[in-house]
Structure 1
Amino acid sequence: MDGRTYRYFKGDVLYPFGHGLSYTTFNYAIPSVSAKTIKAGDAVDVTVDVTNAGKMDSDEVVQLYIAKPNDTSNPVLAGFARVNLKAGQTKPVTLKVDARALSLVDEKGIRKVQAGDYTLHLGGGQPKYAKTAAARLTVTGEALLPK
């Protein structure tokens, strides 16, 4: 798939995903994960406090990207949630990270969750182009998933 999908794109983009959608700025606290270590196939929740640091009420689309072990592509979008915040307001946003979001498809077409350390990036855009807050998750064992 290298060279055929955006996932492996290495160049700079003109307008990253989510660019220009707000008239204010948002700050992200350090995220918390419901469990630091899970068994392959299990799910976790990741929660981050988002603050509207600007002077205007606005919506923010909180994006969750996952960097997976043994995956050389860019972190993958695994979830998102829209939150409305008044100027100066802070709200917690929780996203579920399930086995499918943690999985990779190997060269034989088998989808599985691998053991290793995963990085969960939360922010208003892709980690390469936007300031994100990160949390770590360790997965033990392996789990095969249906296609």
Structure 2
Amino acid sequence: MRHVRVESTSTGNFLDPAAYLALLPTLAGALPSGARAFATDPDHYDFFGRRCVKDLEPATLQRGEADGESWLRLGFRHNCWKHEEDLSIRYVGVSSLSLDPVDTSDWTSFRAVTLDEILPHEHGCSHEIGFLGGSLTVVGRDLTATWTEAECPNRRPGS
């Protein structure tokens, strides 16, 4: 990632989106509408927020084509101790998908999300997602992020 810092340390991971968040007001106008809405959601980088992407688990990856345009859908499962919803991100006009390490046959082996970064791109936007065990980058015309209520047996009563 160019602006979001994700670094391994001797005591765990150091995560710092501050530089990206400082740039986001100037980048937001150049992002497609769906990417802009997702990136600028106040909970997106709030580590205590219910809709922070940190700690989501990769679950599903679907690809296809509709109306002559490639699409991709990534599904993420909640972490019961933090989230109350699962996240689905649908990308349209996908021009590239890259995984690091490239020899990974199953992206769910990347484990939990650390942080992500959405940037303007000549094809719309690029979305890089960092995980504990790798990263994934999608370039597409736009994306739509949808949160849906999850079944969570550890949820506190009344929450």
Give the structure-1-normalised TM-score.
0.27
Q: Which protein has greater RCO, CA pairs closer than 8 Å, 6+ apart?
A: 1
Q: Where is the helix percentage greater, Structure 1 or Structure 2?
A: 2
Query: Which of the two has higher C-alpha Rg?
Result: 1
Give the structure-2-normalised TM-score.
0.25
